[in-house]
Structure 1
């Protein structure tokens, strides 16, 4: 499993980097791209505007946009499922308001239906903010991203502290240990990257 995850990260990073490089060297005027009404309509607007500028055909732009949305649907389902399970776990420990209702499990389908519906309805409600103020929605999205990075930063910082102080078992004793020096290097890079990314996200928003 760790090998599979590593190769998945390598493939995703390579394809993502190639996509970013193509976009960076293909878009001539970024300001003109972002100034169109379509680009200002929402977070996905600039992407669709980029398709429209490159394809110069509304039907094909719609087709490519639908393909993009279709690839995001499984990702959204996976994210909602994972979030609902995490919400259910917190509710099971009594860490949330009205935990008894949230942790209720549908006996027929054996799923935490209330937690699932809550994690589905809440993002939809937040997305409606785009109708009134795209700036407010972007601010909330930036805050969510920063909180996610902060959670990763906490784990990486704890791991680095443990490696430097030997407060836990040495990495050599763990099944998937990276080794002492490699682990410190990876944790240090992770902390630096997440810190810089958080600053960039907050400054852009």
Structure 2
């Protein structure tokens, strides 16, 4: 679907000079339809998609914060791991996620460059975490070690798909570190690798000073690996 949308966009966007100079190239595509009504309709659809995407992103991120807090991997875990038993929503984790999202968004008022530097981390962070999780599964498959029982499995195709996903993520990470163009200036440099390295250093310091004393890895609760008398995680 992405390829179909890309081809449609490239054929309908018109001359490239106005597009390259525009901050919102998709608006030019919408106006090229020749109908104000169609352009407005497409804008509404785009707005609804962005709004829905923000809701799912908030839900995903807040539940990751909640799960990490449940395993005592973050400072203030006792408070952030609370679950509202009526709505089944970790409201405290939602509040924390929303607060830090708002703080990071405010950076754009002071410096667009600083804001772009921070958000440039997202792709490298996603790909690197994919490589870690997929790589661990792939390593166990290569060694022939049993994986925890799952409700769904790709069977013998799993090692092929895992290998492709791991190699593709590694390939994409390399190109994510290149600058967008030459010559490179502080204003258009690719700061993602530096921010990525900084976050990794902060995470390591956090683990050494706090995490290794309190964090309980989820594997400790997996059937067959769980120590005698150890129960599942509980939340308030």
TM-score (norm 1): 0.72
CA gap 1:46/1:138 in 2 versus in 1, 3 angstroms: farther
Structure 1 residue aligned with 2:141: 163
**Higher-RCO chain (CA-CA 8 Å, sequence separation at least 6):** 2
Query: 1:29 Cα deviation (Å)?
Result: 4.5
- Cα deviation code 1:19-70 (max 9, x no counterpart): 012223334544531323xx1xxxxx33334434x24677754442232011
Structure 2 residue aligned with 1:80: 58
Unaligned stretches of 5+ in structure 2?
Answer: 181-189, 191-236
Structure 1 residue aligned with 2:27: 48
In 2, the alpha carbon distance for the partners of 1:51 and 1:136 equals 30
Q: How many residues align?
A: 180
SS of aligned partner of 2:132: helix
Contact 2:13 2:28 in 1 (8 A): no
Contact 1:91 1:99 in 2 (8 A): yes
CA gap 1:132/1:57 in 2 versus in 1, 3 angstroms: farther
The structure 1 residue matched to 2:103, chosen from 79, 100, 125, is 125
Contact 1:142 1:202 in 2 (8 A): no
SS of aligned partner of 2:146: coil
In 2, the alpha carbon distance for the partners of 1:109 and 1:175 equals 26
- 2:10 matches 1:35: no
The structure 2 residue matched to 1:186, chosen from 157, 161, 168, is 161
CA gap 1:88/1:177 in 2 versus in 1, 3 angstroms: closer
- Cα deviation code 1:168-191 (max 9, x no counterpart): 259xx86533333x2222112112
Point out the more displaced range, 26-35 or 69-78: 26-35
In 1, the alpha carbon distance for the partners of 2:152 and 2:162 equals 15
CA RMSD of aligned residues (A): 2.8
Unaligned stretches of 5+ in structure 1?
Answer: 1-14, 40-44
Superposed structure 1 runs of 4+ greater than 6 Å apart: none
- 2:180 matches 1:202: no
- Cα deviation code 1:107-152 (max 9, x no counterpart): 6645322211121232232223333333332322221221111111
Structure with greater helix share of residues: 1
| Higher Rg | 2
In 2, the alpha carbon distance for the partners of 1:174 and 1:105 equals 25
Contact 1:51 1:64 in 2 (8 A): yes
